[in-house]
């Protein structure tokens, strides 16, 4: 397993931007697919985006497609989520996830490692 620590959350107005970061421990970061999930109060944890170990493959939830971009820097053991055109409905705790299997990082079930989350609040 890898240990994951998210940062970059905060309060932003609708239409604004934020960049989330997730720093991972371990020397095998590039062998892990990485993803972002989010959980709003009273709701389930939902998939947001994922990226393959070498960064060649990405996939997004329809709700964020065209607004969010996932990227990674394997030299820094870090994955990012660039969020633009934020909406109040994007308000949630955002979690970083890691698993050796790319296709697994599409559901909250079965993911090997999770961070503790960072809160994003979008005001209207």
pLDDT, tens only, 72-107: 999 999 999 999 999 999 999 999 999 999 999 999
* Whether residue 1 has pLDDT greater than 90: no
Q: In angstroms, rounded to a whole number, what is the distance separating the alpha carbons of residues 38 and 48? A: 7
Residues 6+ away with beta carbon under 8 Å from 13? 86, 122, 123
List the Cα angle 60/97/122 in 5-degree steps: 60
Strand, coil or helix: 73: strand
Per-residue confidence (pLDDT) for residue 26, from 0 to 100: 79
In angstroms, the CA 108 to CA 80 distance is: 18
CA–CA gap between residue 18 and residue 46 (Å, rounded)? 19
């Amino acid at each position: 397993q890898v240990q994951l620590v998210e940062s970059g959350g905060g309060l932003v107005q609708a239409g604004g931007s934020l960049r989330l970061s997730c720093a991972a421990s371990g020397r095998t970061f590039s062998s892990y697919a990485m993803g972002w999930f989010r959980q709003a109060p009273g709701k389930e944890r939902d998939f947001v985006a994922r990226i393959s170990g070498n960064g060649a493959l990405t996939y997004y939830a329809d709700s964020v497609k065209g607004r969010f971009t996932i990227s990674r820097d394997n030299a820094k053991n870090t994955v990012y989520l660039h969020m633009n055109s934020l909406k109040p409905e994007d308000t949630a705790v955002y979690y970083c996830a890691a698993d050796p299997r790319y296709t697994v990082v599409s559901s909250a079930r079965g993911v090997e490692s999770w961070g503790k989350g960072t809160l994003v609040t979008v005001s209207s």
